[in-house]
Structures are given as structure tokens and as C-alpha cells.
Amino acid sequence: MANTHGLTSRIVKKQAAARKLAKNKKAAYQVYIWNENPQTRKNQSYKARKHYMENKQNFPKKKLWTKNPQSLMEQGILDERWFFKTWKKKNFLTWSMVDVKWLDFYGMPR
């Protein structure tokens, strides 16, 4: 019989996780906790958290290659009024949600 101790599998899993942490506490905690909030840690499995962190580290940063607006327009990042097309509806010239004439992305006054 696999379950001779009479405990449910979820309790056995928690005990195994606790033993794993107790073996090498400091090294295990670095991988186990990172800098998430406790609520996320309780609601997500270790494997899911590990995959999340690996994906986050491997994902390319959103950084503009050049600050030249003309080349950004040619690449299709900015439109003719210097608004970002796919990013936040922000203006490259004013760095706010409106352009020089105080009109937003849709041409409406804010």
C-alpha cells in the first residue's frame, strides 16, 4: 500500500517541502522565496514561480534602440504626431498622454 500512514497526499507534499527546505535552508530559501509577496507565494506552486522568474529574466527589456524620432517613425514605432503606436498612448516629444496642442492619442482634448 502506498498510503499506509493514513495522511492525505497534500499533507505529505507539505511535509516533503518542509524537509527539503530544512536540509539546506539558506540556499533553498533563495530559490523558493525571491522577492515575491507572501500572498503570491501561497497561491502559486514552486514550479510555476520558478518558470515565471526564468521567463521574466529572459524576456527582452523594452528599450528604444535610438532616440531619433525620424528613424522611430520609419521603424513603425511612432506615428506622424509622435505618439507610440503599440506601447502606451504616450507622446515621444512631450512624454505625456497629450501632444503639443494638448490633444490626446485620438485627437480629443483632455
| Single pTM value for the model | 0.44
- Does the structure show a pLDDT above 70 at 73? yes
Exposed/middle/buried for 103, CB within 10 Å: 0-12, 13-18, 19+? middle
The whole-number pLDDT of residue 1 equals 43
CA dist 43 → 30, 37, 95 (Å): 18, 10, 37
DSSP conformation class of 45: -
- Does the structure show a pLDDT above 90 at 98? yes
The whole-number pLDDT of residue 64 equals 83
d(CA 91, CA 82) in angstroms, rounded, equals 6
> What is the pLDDT of the chain when averaged over all its residues?
78
The whole-number pLDDT of residue 28 equals 47
- Does the structure show a pLDDT above 90 at 40? no
Average the pLDDT over 102-106 and give the result.
91
